[in-house]
């Protein structure tokens, strides 16, 4: 084991070695390209339940319109909290009691219900509903769905029930709070017996789930993966906890739609959101043989750790840099191939600035032909379902050649200048003479980072 002096030396050396990392990281992965014989992975289905819409078309049109769907939290318990805004699911769009029986709802958390609804849309779009009797299809279809946080109020209410008597505790309490239950319930519902995987890496969960599913297919563990993330933890306790971390916006309680403002100089914290977005990923030849629709392609996947702080990213942006570099290398592309970065940017003063710095450092002179935006201004921060929801918008951007805007972005501070931010209104993705390729960043508490390289499908 290393002593404290050795540990300090390693940290100092790591901080000084950033130029070396940037020079060498491509060398360690550059052979892993599409030309190396790896199985190509395409997106054949998409589904969504979100504050901006509860089907793909509705959500995409809301994003392009530059509308914010953040609203005021109503109730006496919220009135006592510093933050009183959130982005919630419109009950006019989704009524869980109409989607599930009372018995079913007893067995699942709200986040699980969101995941099942989004998965139904994704599977329908993919035209992938193999019969349980089709052993091969079911065994070659897997699930990878994550959750960032369980329902804290369910835990509190069950604890209060226990005080009244043991029999007051629901036999479904434990299944409701297990993070792997969205994956488990989906697998059971459709009979999928491939990899059954759950990810819980805070706000990087959704992106990690897609990336892991991508690799399961690449390595031959499955031909089809249903993947993404789900989150439903907006409650007085959840809001209070994040407020105590000083992570949430508190300056716009009387103007909710202005509260989530990534990259803007008046940003003061993120806004919690809820929902789910689900992808159907498929091995290319498998998709072509059955004539499946192809929305886009997952080209690469990069992961890294900050090894720095519980909640704050490294000041030099190394964690973000490493994830982006590794995604590029894994996809066999360079910074010159990237036209758009969908940033993690949650609307926090520190995090947004560090991510902007990392993007500038990585792209250098190529920032002149790069567009950057964060859709969290419209739908808030869905925590464990953020990376997958935003990846869905990246797929749509690559497919349609339209760049989603950052809502409420009016002025950036000097430390974030030098990038072309798509502000308030969508823009055409210029340069159609080449394939549209983008990066999607997701970073989580504990210093966990993910980056997906997503491209327009090309034969």
Active centre residues (catalytic): 203
Residue with tokens 């036209």: 339
H helix and E strand count, the chain: 18, 15
Structure tokens, 135: 């052993």
* Pairwise CA distance, residues 409 & 375, whole Å: 11
The 8 Å CB, 24+ separation contacts for 56-64 are 56/121, 56/125, 56/392, 56/396, 58/93, 59/392, 59/393, 60/393, 60/396, 62/378, 63/375, 63/378, 63/379, 63/393, 63/404, 63/405, 63/426, 64/402, 64/404, 64/405, 64/426
Of 231, 146, 181, 197, nearest in space to 450 by CA: 146
* Pairwise CA distance, residues 174 & 155, whole Å: 9
Of 262, 249, 277, 200, nearest in space to 83 by CA: 249
CB burial string 386-421: b at 16+ within 10 A, e below: bbbbbbbbbbbbbbebbbbbbbbbeebeeebeebeb
* Pairwise CA distance, residues 398 & 296, whole Å: 7
Of 35, 367, 442, nearest in space to 201 by CA: 442
């Amino acid at each position: 084991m290393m002593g404290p002096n050795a540990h300090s030396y390693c940290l100092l050396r790591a901080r000084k070695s950033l130029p070396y990392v940037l020079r060498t990281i491509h060398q360690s992965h550059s052979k892993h390209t599409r030309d190396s014989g790896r199985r190509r992975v395409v997106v054949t289905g998409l589904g969504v339940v979100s504050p901006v819409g509860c089907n793909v078309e509705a959500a995409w049109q809301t994003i392009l319109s530059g509308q914010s769907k953040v609203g005021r939290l109503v109730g006496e318990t919220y009135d006592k909290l510093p933050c009183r805004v959130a982005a919630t699911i419109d009950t006019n769009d989704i009524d869980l009691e109409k989607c599930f029986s009372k018995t079913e709802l007893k067995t699942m958390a709200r986040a699980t219900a969101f995941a099942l609804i989004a998965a139904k849309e994704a599977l329908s779009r993919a035209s992938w509903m193999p019969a349980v009797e089709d052993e091969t299809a079911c065994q070659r279809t897997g699930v990878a769905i994550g959750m960032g946080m369980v329902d804290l109020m369910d835990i509190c209410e069950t604890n209060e029930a226990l005080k009244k008597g043991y029999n007051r505790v629901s036999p479904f309490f434990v299944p409701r709070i297990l993070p792997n239950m969205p994956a488990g319930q989906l697998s059971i519902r459709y009979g999928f017996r491939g990899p059954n995987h759950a990810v819980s890496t805070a706000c990087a969960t959704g992106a990690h789930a897609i990336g892991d599913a991508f690799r399961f297919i690449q390595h031959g563990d499955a031909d089809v993966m249903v993947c993404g993330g789900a989150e439903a933890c907006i409650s007085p306790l959840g809001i209070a906890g994040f407020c105590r971390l000083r992570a949430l916006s508190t300056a716009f309680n009387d103007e909710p739609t202005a509260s989530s403002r990534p990259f803007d100089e008046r940003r003061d914290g993120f806004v919690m959101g809820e929902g789910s977005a689900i992808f159907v990923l498929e091995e290319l030849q498998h998709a072509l043989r059955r004539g499946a629709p192809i929305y886009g392609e997952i080209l690469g996947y990069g992961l890294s750790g900050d090894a720095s702080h519980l909640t704050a990213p490294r000041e030099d942006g190394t964690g973000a840099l490493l994830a982006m570099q590794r995604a590029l290398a894994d996809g066999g592309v360079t910074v010159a191939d990237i036209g758009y970065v969908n940033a993690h940017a949650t609307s926090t003063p520190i995090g947004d600035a560090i991510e902007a710095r990392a993007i500038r450092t990585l792209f250098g002179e190529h920032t002149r032909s790069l567009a950057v935006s964060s859709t969290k201004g419209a739908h808030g921060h869905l925590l464990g379902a953020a990376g997958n929801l935003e990846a869905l918008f990246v797929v749509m951007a690559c497919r349609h050649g339209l760049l989603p805007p950052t809502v409420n972005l009016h002025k950036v501070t000097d430390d974030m200048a030098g990038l072309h931010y798509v502000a308030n209104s969508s823009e055409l993705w210029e340069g159609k003479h080449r394939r549209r390729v983008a990066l999607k960043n997701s970073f989580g508490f504990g210093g966990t980072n993910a980056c997906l390289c997503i491209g327009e499908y090309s034969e």
